[in-house]
Amino acid sequence: MGNKFTFICLLLSLIFIGHVSANEVFNARIYVKGDRDTIVFYYDSEKTIQGDDVILSHTYKTPEGEVFARETLILHEGEFSVHETSFPILDEYSKQVRDEEGMTTSFKSNNKEKSKAIKVPENLIFGPTQQDFITENLESLKEGEKLTFSLPVPQFLTTVKFTLKKIENKTLDKPGMITLQMKSNNPFLWFIAKPIHFLINEENSLIQEIHGPTILKIKVNEKWEFFDSEIYFKYL
């Protein structure tokens, strides 16, 4: 059961921090919370166009250049077609493929794979489309509306609802930005996945900072451990 908990935390955190708009390309630097002296990971995005398909890739690398995680989303004529996440160091992979009936979600670990056909829920988003979701709903968020959407949880071959809302946070709030908090509606997932906080530029709706847990690990006493992060973005 512990391995299931671990991958859920990894995947949800990846989706949480993988937020770039389909129209924005960025690079970012990731630090341990409270320590801006040392970069622990580099995080960047890439956008390519192939005919009617837009391919969005997010990659997370160590300072030595090793890939820790990668997320790829294919949009066909603007709609989700294929979504994949990979954690090569952990040997864990997931995939969602859309079809006429809904979508097939699958999970593979240690050469064992499982899959299931499920429905596509309303407001299903992935890392590379979350910024678009925020941009489209920014005015409602500013007015205090709480938004609900779904994210895939391939380990359990399902999707789970989450909420996003504007909050006041004396530690994070900055002039010209609004602070958003995202967390699960599911008490079980709330127990294992902490809230994530986003600082958004009020003028252009782009996320400038993210504060909270991350998929990435750092070595502590020769062991890989999760950490709370601070992520700062630069749009290209």
Q: Would you state the structure tokens that stand for residue 147, as one six-digit string?
A: 């938004």
Which residue range is the domain that position 203 belongs to? 2-235
pLDDT digits (tens, 9 = 90+) for 81-129: 999 999 898 888 999 999 999 999 999 988 899 999 999 998 899 888 8
Q: Would you state the structure tokens that stand for residue 188, as one six-digit string?
A: 């079980």
Give the distance, in angstroms, between the CA of residue 42 and the centroid of all CA atoms in the same chain. 15
Comparing C-alpha atoms, which of 170, 67, 141, 165 is closest to residue 58? 67
Coil/strand/helix, residue 131 = helix
Q: Which residues of the chain have pLDDT under 50?
A: 2, 17-22, 191
First to last CA, the chain: 41
Comparing C-alpha atoms, which of 226, 236, 234 is closest to residue 69? 226
Question: What is the per-residue pLDDT for 21?
Answer: 46
Task: Please give the model's pTM, rounded to 2 decimal places.
Answer: 0.83
Q: How many domains does the chain have?
A: 1
